[in-house]
């Protein structure tokens, strides 16, 4: 959790509220985004199969996830098609992520526009 720890510390330093899940489960994930108006999503590992389960699950359409402004993905590269689907599901996201194997505080775009 060393990568994630730096994200948590950076968030706390700027006064962000942080919601942590013990393990990934789509339903609580969507409920937490809606309830707390989560603006940044960081799932470790945020690998393509987990991303795919989020964007392809019909439950995603039943929750308000419009508050998400940033989706962090640094564990594995996302293919172009998957990037496009993520953009559609999270239309308000600025599409930023830390590059793999570098400190999470160095943020650069994950999608090409």
55 burial type by CB count under 10 A (0-12 exposed, 13-18 middle, 19+ buried): middle
- Rounded CA-CA distance 42/70 in Å is 8
Number of domains in the chain: 1
CATH number, domain of 56, equals 3.40.50.980
For residue 71, give its domain range.
2-109
CA distances from 110 to 82, 87, 95, 102, 106 (A): 12, 11, 6, 13, 12
In this predicted model, what pLDDT tens digit does every residue of 51-60 receive, in sequence order?
Answer: 888 889 999 9
Q: What is the pLDDT of residues 47-96, one digit of tens each?
A: 778 888 888 999 999 999 999 888 876 667 777 888 888 888 988 887 54
Rg of the chain over Cα atoms, rounded to whole angstroms, equals 13
Its pTM stands at 0.74
The sign of the torsion formed by the CA atoms of 33, 36, 37, 42 equals negative
Q: Given pLDDT bands bounded at 50, 70 and 90, which one contains residue 17? A: confident
Tokens describing residue 31: 């409920």
Q: Classify the phi-psi angles of 42: left when phi > 0, otherwise alpha if psi is within -120 to 50, otherwise beta.
A: beta
């Amino acid at each position: 959790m060393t990568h994630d720890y730096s994200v948590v510390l950076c968030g706390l330093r700027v006064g962000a509220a942080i919601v942590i899940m013990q393990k990934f489960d789509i339903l609580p994930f969507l409920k937490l985004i809606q309830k707390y108006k989560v603006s940044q999503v960081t799932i470790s590992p945020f690998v393509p199969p987990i991303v795919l389960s989020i964007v392809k699950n019909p439950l995603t359409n039943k929750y308000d996830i419009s508050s998400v402004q940033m989706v962090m993905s640094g564990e594995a590269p996302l293919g172009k098609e998957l990037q496009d689907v993520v953009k559609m599901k999270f239309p308000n996201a600025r599409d930023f992520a830390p590059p793999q194997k570098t400190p999470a505080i160095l943020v650069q775009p994950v999608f090409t526009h």
